[in-house]
Amino acid sequence: MFEVRDLFQWDRFITPTIIKVFYWLVIVLIVLSGLSGIFAGLSSMAVSPFSGFITILLNVAGVLVGILFSRIAAESILIVFRINEHLGAIRDQGATRP
């Protein structure tokens, strides 16, 4: 878990812990933005039903794509940190051999 003293020490990375919080914040923002677009599509359906329907479909698709890409970005960052941990373990393993 993340502790305040980790901010002042360089033995452990805090980004893998914090990236999960940022991921969920991004998800909330994507969903709120999608809901805003869906409500805008519903209000534009009064003027033009077809364009309102297309707006709603595009916003739903945008929410799904946004969630997918934010997950890919978060996993990419976490993979880089995992690679670093594995390389450190390999380096430590090689240092203990005679």
84, part of any domain? yes
Indicate if the pLDDT at residue 98 is higher than 90: no
Provide mean pLDDT across the span 7-25: 81
Residue 56 lies in a domain: yes
Provide, rounded to the nearest whole percent, the portion of the chain with pLDDT above 70. 87
Q: What's the pTM?
A: 0.76
Residue 10 lies in a domain: no
In a domain, 5, yes or no: no
Which domain range does residue 47 map to? 15-96
Contacts of residue 55, defined as CB under 8 A and 6 or more positions apart, other chains included, come to 37, 40, 41, 44
Residues 6 or more apart whose CB falls under 8 angstroms from that of 84 comprise 13
Residue of 40, 74, 70 whose CA lies nearest to 57: 40
Number of domains in the chain: 1
Query: What is the chain's length?
Result: 98
Q: Does some domain include residue 8?
A: no
